[in-house]
Amino acid sequence: MRRVTAHDAIKRKYPEWIVLLVTIDLAGKVNVMPAGWSMVTSFEPPMYAVSVGHARYSHELIESTGEFTVAVPGPGLGNSIRYCGTRSGRDGDKLPGSGLITTPAEQVGPPLLENAVANLECRLVTQLDTGDHTIFVGQVLAAHVADEQQGRLLNFAPGLYAQAQPVPGSEFRFKP
């Protein structure tokens, strides 16, 4: 082993799962941001966390509304992810050019993404400042999944989106 910068070591974790963070402003305009830093934080109650840079428009929207949805993108959404990740919602509406289709959520203001494998409706429970990012933790109020035939999750490495392939016998199961 040789010593390197933290940045150089962290780059080795790619590829990683990516999610689409969906937020909404007080006037009802939807914003979508790709997020690589996210995770399940609790089974009971179900909670999900996402890390968002302080300067991001999504950061401002979560703080003002206390709500977000997390969409797990499926195959064919690489261009949508790239589109949403290279524009700011502060500068205009990303939805028309993204190819993403929304449908109303049941419990929160930000919508669900129809082209996603799964969607989580989250209400902010707590947040933690971690340097130049904030970790937002939301309780999952409702969850939705697409039909099985819609496909598998996407992995992300800078400039590349690849469909994850399941390993037989590796299905995740919650403990009863």
Q: What is the DSSP string of 148-166?
A: GGG---EEEETTEEEE--P
Torsion angles phi and psi, residue 168, rounded to 5:
-50, 135
Q: Is the dihedral of CA 69, 72, 76, 81 positive or negative?
A: positive
pTM for the structure as a whole:
0.84
Q: Is the dihedral of CA 45, 48, 53, 59 positive or negative?
A: negative
Render each residue's pLDDT in the chain as its tens digit; 176 residues: 999 999 889 888 877 788 999 999 999 999 999 999 999 999 999 999 999 999 999 999 999 999 999 999 987 888 999 999 999 999 999 999 999 999 999 999 999 999 899 999 999 999 999 999 999 999 999 999 987 645 555 555 455 444 544 445 545 444 43
Buried b or exposed e, range 3-20, using 16+ CB within 10 angstroms: eeeeeeeeeeeeeeebbb
Domain count, the chain: 1
pLDDT (0 to 100) of residue 57: 97
| In-domain check, residue 51 | yes
What CATH number does the domain containing 116 carry? 2.30.110.10
| In-domain check, residue 110 | yes
| In-domain check, residue 109 | yes
| In-domain check, residue 170 | no
| In-domain check, residue 165 | no
